[in-house]
Amino acid sequence: MQKKASLILDALDYKDFELSIVITDDEDIKNLNKEFRQLDKATNVLSFPVNDENSSFIPFLSVLGDIVISEDTAKKEALEAGITLDQRISQLLVHGILHLIGYDHESGEAEEEEMTKKSIELLSVIEKDKDLSWWI
């Protein structure tokens, strides 16, 4: 996970930046989702950028923020998509990092397309087989 995150950050030209990654379960991520997004349900990934205007943390120039991934939800989604858990975690890691640096697929169709394109580009950097047909 650390190696993949480093490769993603390098590809995004954020080589000297840090982030934290937490792998948790549905119960914990549901609690976080409820507290921070007012959504009382589990989700696959949450991103908490340090530079978010709602953050109470003092921003440090080299810290991007935190990513929380639910292994429970990732397992279910991997099974449904016919991919490995590792592949799904890779997708969620890319997705979370893109949110940390400002991408937002919920802002509109153009932004969603841009984020999808960037996600595929980054997945090709971290996935050894380079066959990304499982992404589509």
Looking at domain 2-126, its CATH superfamily turns out to be: Metalloproteases ("zincins"), catalytic domain (3.40.390.30)
pTM of the model: 0.86
Residue-wise pLDDT tens digits, 50-68: 865 555 555 556 889 999 9
- Amino acid (one-letter) located at 133: S
Residue-wise pLDDT tens digits, 59-101: 556 889 999 999 999 999 999 999 999 999 999 999 999 999 9
Domain ranges in the chain are 2-126
Q: How far apart, in whole angstroms, are the C-alpha atoms of residue 48 and residue 66? A: 5
